[in-house]
Structure 1
Amino acid sequence: MRASVIISTYNSPLWLERVLVGYACQSVSDFEIIIADDGSTQETANLLSRLREDYKLVINHVWHEDQGFQKTRILNKAVIAAKSDYLIFTDGDCIPRQDFVETHLRYSEQDYFLSGGHFPLSKELSHQITLDDIKSRRCFDLNWLKAHGLSSNFKNIKLTKSSTLANLMNRITPTKPTWNGGNASAWKKDILAVNGFDERMKYGGEDREFGERLINSGIQPKRVRYFAIIIHLEHERGYVNQAAWEKNNAIREETKSQKRIKTEFGLNLHESEQTQLIDD
């Protein structure tokens, strides 16, 4: 396998099925999928069993019990489980365009991580997308999206089919390349070097802090915002709270001020699991 695609999810099988159908339609097939499951019910496990059979996808379901928002913890477990040297991170509400994996592999480079973005859809439009729309790639066509309620906006240029325009936009966009959890990739050795994600962090900037430590370690971001395309399905976020934001911001400030590379609350907390994987 040339890549491991790590997809975070929590009790959202409707969206996850659409995302995985997107991976069944990729232009390359030499990748594994690791579902980083933050405590979903049996419904998600049943879905994965069916999709493995229907689409012949290589899926490793990494799960732990539901103890509230523990995304950083399950991501670390997924990193440990990954069998390839290159890891692509995304979320279970982000449908990939057919060249998504190929694009991350094409632009991968030693001493860099890739920074992508997402194309957000409204709740109404998100619910209109069917499996057939994904298989036919209609859901990435601007005319089709506009016919189903997408508003005209300059940001729609992100779905351009022109490689020349995409190159230009990647060069001139003022958006700073950062680690964006829904669309980013890095070498596994670099992730291990910074000890993975900080498990003290809940929702709110936890992905950015991880990227800041990568940069502190000498790994530079490379923008693929207009190359690696995903559409984001809108949903409720019941796990958002101010206290978590404040705690995360304090951790990020420490990372910045101390130019911290390694967290003390990361992959090291799962040393027994790493040993078990090696033994297996």
Structure 2
Amino acid sequence: MRPARFIPFAAALAVLAVPAALAAQSAPPVFIDELTWTEIRDRQQAGTRSVIIGTAGQEQKGPHMVDGEHKYVLEHTTVRIARTLGDALVAPVITYVPEGSWDPPRGHMTKPGTITLPEDRFVELLLHAGRSLKAGGFTQVIYIGDSGGNQRGMQKAAEQLNSEWAGSARALFIGDYYTKAGEAMRVMLRGRGFTDEDIGSHAGMLDTSELLYVNPRLVRKDRLARNGGAPDSGVNGDPTKASAELGAELLTIKIDHALAQIRALRAGGAK
């Protein structure tokens, strides 16, 4: 339930957080690093044979957000996806992804704290993670990424594993979580009267709203400024217009797109 618009910001955050907190307390864990091996085995024997591998960039997010923003968002969304599917667990989020060059540093790599992995090493990491989980009894590996630079690598890994496994298991690349959902979120915000300059392309309204909903303590509210407040801030857009309420809606769009694609692929739909 979303709060009424007149509720003060702090109160709105509290209202939004209550359902999620209660659900987390009552639902069994879905992260495999929170389960024993025998608990994982028992879940598999009961029909849980899918596992989600999430990938999230460790990258600068301006002066107002922590560098792990993508990870915190993806931990939230993958849990909701797994619980909605009802037959999936979640692997630890992979945060070492392609972020560009370090020699010379370019893009996000010019800011402290960003970590990059070459594309070929990233694909190898995904392949070995998928093979490991298959060896442990999972028959479907689902790749979902919350940042742009890792989409192509996940698709490559899924295609290679499907070729290797030849029907004994399956890898799904869920690109709609990032691409189609990203455009749908922008359409929604434009419909609310926000401009493309407001929305921005990095660490603006989208990312900030999502983190305000998932973990508001990781947003430095005193550092919020349009375009980060400085030419080299690493921010494009206006995070001062972000809100936890918008974040809840944006994350639902991502989750819904992921679930729709997973269900279509499971049913034999087009990739």
TM-score range, shorter chain: 0.3 to 0.5
Structure with higher RCO (Cα < 8 A, 6+ apart)? 1
Which is richer in helix?
2
Structure 2 length-normalised TM: 0.32
Structure 1 length-normalised TM: 0.31
Which is richer in strand?
1
